[in-house]
Amino acid sequence: MASRILSGRYELLEKIGDGGMAVVYKGKDKLLNRFIAVKILRPEFTKDATFVENFKRESQAAAGLSHPNIVGVYDVGREGNINYIVMELIEGDTLNKIIEDEAPMDYRKVIDISKQVASALRIAHKNKIIHRDVKPHNIMVTTDGVVKLADFGIARAVNDATLSTGSKIVGSVHYFSPEQARGNYVDERSDIYSLGIVMYEMLTGKVPFDGDNPVTVALKHINEEITPPRELEPSIPPALERIVMKATSKFQTNRYANADELIQDLDNVSFVTAIAPDSIFESTTVVEKRNKRKQDLEKDIEEVVEARERERKKKRRKNVAIITVVMLLLAAAAAGYIAWKMGVFSPTKAAPDMLDKTYDDAVAIAEAEGFKLKKGNDIYSSEYAEGRICQQDPAPGVEMPKEGTITINVSKGNKEGLVPSVLGMQEEDVENFLKSYGYALGNVKYITSFEKAGKVLEQEPVAGSTLDKESTVDITVSDGKGTEKSTVPSVTRMSLQDAKQAIEAAGFSVGNITYDWDASIGKGYVIYQQYQANSQLDKGTAIDLQVSSGPEPEPEEPEDTTDDGDKDKSKDKDKDKDNG
């Protein structure tokens, strides 16, 4: 893709991921000089207030969570019709890719990954946030084994009692909790169920429920029992299997109440499996006796668990039978409704939604639905981007004769729009970039600068200004002939060694060094610097320094060279003068 800069700061380098709502790019923060990930909401959703709200919710939810196992969010913004989030760039693979490559995975690795995901959920739940979409695709594992939970796009506060977003059901059906499949209230235990399904898939290489369509899978989550993972992979420790089965119970009250309980049980399994191997110094008899006690205890526990499970199954069968009948009736009604909506029993058919589609897409839709297509006019639109269908007749959903004609008008873009940022771009890329937004390149002014030749330094009007389409944007460009400037540091009262380091770190060199007496500044410290601190100079300029030699020493008294005889004669002469 061609390089693109958002808000004059975030340079998009390459696409690294696709999601249902957004596209993820690898980018670079030009201000902080670091690599980042930028998630951009798909254009078809920018006019949908519900999807935009979900996108904002992701940034707000994740930005408030600071934890080593949660992907960090650095910034959120909008430029024109582009909504984006700036996030931590993770170097590694998704758990989905790791499962494809390694499953069935070593149970010790499964425990480690599960504990880290549970730690992320613990922080989210304590902040009253339910993730709602825990799945391997949203879990990243870095090259050094750190697990990161991402994508809080459909998370919402705990006191939200519904799963629906508008008319849409959110989440991934293979990892749905039964309450999500029913559209009932969800809480922390719903995330724990989804994590239990992820653990099951890591241990066995399969999800417990699959089917031809999402409805079939959702019904299995509600009605069918999960096959114990040890039936698929006998090497799984029984204690770990019990954790998975408890986390994926169909009844919320039978699951772990919170992530702390799950982490504690995973820690216990880690401890037990770590000490399980028998010591090579124990006798065979001791080992056999200990194994016998262990087997007897496990058998007793399993019998109690099985008895309780049989009672629960009896109750469930009654409920399942009722639910199944209701679901079948609903499915039959839904099938009839869908057939009616598809026009099976009617000579008319609802016009398909072609708004915000390209002309080529509209042609394909019309052919697939059995309609004819007529292209109308190219008109200005404040709602739809240039080249997108902005009007259709009949409107979407309106009943019309089968094989009828739909007339479409294509957007020329907003007559009045927001000027995009071209700062930092190269001059040769600006014209086509502005053209894609409906503007033309105006005057180009060149100034002397140390920046790379052709780099855009200024623009008029500035980015974000409102401007009629087909207007011009003027730019100021570097000629690349300038010398890079730097700020002179303040080094007075520094030691000479520290002053040299500060000057060289700022991009300058040390010039002549002179010394002078100074009683107010210690010996070896700078008294004077040639250029004023905080002024701007060309890099490489030499800066002269004057350094203190300490206080000036006191002058010495001249030495008395006369002998004692001369001193006595002198005293006698003085005495005679006094007597006279």
Per residue of the chain (580 residues), what is the pLDDT tens digit? 556 888 889 999 998 887 666 788 999 998 888 999 998 887 776 766 766 776 676 667 667 778 889 888 888 888 877 888 888 898 888 999 999 999 999 999 999 999 999 999 999 899 888 888 899 988 999 988 899 998 775 544 333 333 333 333 444 789 989 988 887 888 899 999 999 999 999 999 999 998 888 888 888 888 889 999 999 999 999 999 999 999 999 988 899 999 999 999 998 887 766 655 433 333 444 545 556 655 665 565 566 556 666 776 777 676 667 777 777 777 767 766 665 555 555 677 888 999 989 999 999 998 888 899 999 988 877 567 788 998 999 888 888 888 899 999 998 876 677 788 888 899 999 999 888 888 899 999 999 887 889 999 999 998 878 888 888 999 999 988 877 788 999 999 899 999 999 999 999 999 999 999 988 888 999 999 999 988 888 888 999 999 999 888 877 666 655 555 555 555 555 555 554 4
Handedness of CA 124, 129, 134, 140 (dihedral sign): negative
Look up residue 434 and give its two tokens.
Answer: 């502005």
At a CB cut-off of 8 Å and minimum separation 6, what does 243 contact?
Answer: 196, 199, 262, 265, 266, 269
Burial class (CB in 10 A: 0-12, 13-18, 19+), 351: buried
Just list the catalytic residues: 133
Is residue 446 within 8 Å of residue 415, measured between CB atoms?
no
- Report d(CA 378, CA 359) in Å as an integer: 11
At a CB cut-off of 8 Å and minimum separation 6, what does 497 contact?
Answer: none
Burial class (CB in 10 A: 0-12, 13-18, 19+), 113: buried
- Report d(CA 185, CA 201) in Å as an integer: 25
Is residue 420 within 8 Å of residue 368, measured between CB atoms?
no
DSSP per residue, 223-248: HSPPPPHHHH-TTS-HHHHHHHHHHT
Nearest Cα to Cα of residue 417 among 79, 84, 52: 79
Kindly report the CA angle at 506 between 501 and 510, in degrees rounded to 5?
55
At a CB cut-off of 8 Å and minimum separation 6, what does 226 contact?
Answer: 200, 208, 209, 245, 248
Please give the domain boundaries of the chain with CATH numbers for all domains.
Answer: 1-89 (3.30.200.20), 94-277 (1.10.510.10), 348-411 (3.30.10.20), 416-478 (3.30.10.20)
Strands 542-548 and 509-516: parallel
Strands 440-447 and 472-478: parallel
- Report d(CA 391, CA 54) in Å as an integer: 26
Look up residue 183 and give its two tokens.
Answer: 């559209």
Is residue 168 within 8 Å of residue 91, measured between CB atoms?
no
Phi, psi values for residue 348, rounded to 5°? -110, 170
- Report d(CA 25, CA 385) in Å as an integer: 21
| pLDDT score recorded for residue 288 | 57
State in Å, rounded, how far the first CA of the chain is from the last one. Answer: 117
Look up residue 20 and give its two tokens.
Answer: 């249902």
SS3 of residue 573 by DSSP: helix
- Report d(CA 98, CA 94) in Å as an integer: 7
Look up residue 335 and give its two tokens.
Answer: 């099938």
- Report d(CA 220, CA 215) in Å as an integer: 9
Q: Which residues pair with 511 in a beta bridge?
A: none
DSSP state, residue 452: P
- Report d(CA 556, CA 553) in Å as an integer: 9
DSSP per residue, 483-519: --EEEPPP-TTSBHHHHHHHHHHTT-EEEEEEEE--S
Q: How far is CA 545 from CA 323, 491, 509, 524, 538, in A?
A: 89, 9, 11, 11, 18
Handedness of CA 415, 421, 423, 427 (dihedral sign): negative
Look up residue 76 and give its two tokens.
Answer: 């959120």
